[in-house]
Amino acid sequence: MAEVASTILVIDDSVDIHRLLKIRLRDQNVAISSSSSGQDGIERARELLPDLILLDIDMPGMSGFEVLAELKHDPLTVEIPVIFLSGSGGSTNKVKGFDLGAVDFVTKPFDIAELRARVRSALRTRKLVKMLAQRAQVDGLTGLWNRTHLDEQLVCQVSQARRHDTPLALIMSDVDKFKNLNDTHGHPFGDQVLQEVANILVEETRDSDISCRYGGEEFAVILPMTSLADAVTVAERCRQTLEAYVWASHDDLCVTASFGVTDLGTAEEPTAASVIKSADAALYAAKHGGRNRVVRADEEHSTRGDCSSSGGGGAASESPAQPHHGSSSAA
């Protein structure tokens, strides 16, 4: 299978530079997009999220330094490497560029062999950093993304939703009476439960949704381009699938989970922290209201399916969970 081409965004006011770079880099397995101004380049970077940006310093209206400063203050673009292009090779520009976060500096007119080498180096580093970051953000037990990834992605998704005025929803879920499951059936079975919950979340959501292990027996799903009502439907589908699941070694056992659902418009503020707080409060309401139900954050409404076997997993009664508003301890 052919390697997927890396994406490069060129931000330069010179049409000739765009033509030259497309010709000289066409054999480097890269897809090049072009922007002729600083502000347009920033918007293109947010939309494309390229693997590398080649940025001219001397542009009318908005300089490359100003563009880079804005890119590095945006959570969507802060990690994208930037190589500065400049007709001046003076140390002052280089120092300023590196201080702002540029990864390299190429002087015009280009030495083509040097330019290609610097582009390849930046793309290799970018690929390695992304690979290491992804590995560090995967939960070892369930294979889902972990809390760190959730926090980072929610910030990005909220930013995108606000910018484009699109819906964004969040589901939080907690396995009911999980401590009793561990105490009664052992931690290996508890691990099996967490793995199956993870599988259900992946199977019942879209590829574009982001399923994460929030911590312990808690999970979260970010649903871009999704209304609150549609997210409630997804959560209810997950709830029903888990409730109906037959455990091979415990066929009389019913494992359930509670779900809290919110969206960007329901949260007190259009921020990632406020969205989590809103979903967390809805989850608390679901636990407090009897468990094994879906509660949406904007109204006193829930759906519930009753386990007919083992009284909801055969676990003893426990006091309602309190809203945590922070990371949960690992299971």
Active site residues: 217
Q: Six-digit token pair at 295?
A: 């509660």
Task: List strand residue ranges (DSSP E) for 176-215, in order.
Answer: 210-215
Torsion of CA 49, 326, 262, 231, to 10 degrees: 70
Among 296, 278, 285, residue whose Cα is nearest residue 229: 296
Q: How far apart are CA 177 and CA 318, in angstroms?
A: 7
Please, which residues have CB within 8 angstroms of residue 250's CB and are 6 or more apart in sequence? 185, 189
> Do residues 302 and 282 make contact, with C-beta atoms less than 8 angstroms apart?
no
- DSSP conformational letter for 231: H
Question: Can you tell me whether residue 181 is helix, strand or coil?
Answer: helix
- C-alpha dist (Å) from residue 290 to 15, 71, 149, 162, 259: 65, 47, 30, 35, 11
Strand partners, 98: none
Three-class DSSP category at 131: helix
Alpha-carbon gap, residue 31 to 50, rounded angstroms? 9
**Residue 160 token pair:** 């995108």
Alpha-carbon distance of 235 to 229, in angstroms, equals 10
Quote the CA–CA distance of 275 and 280 in Å, as a whole number: 8
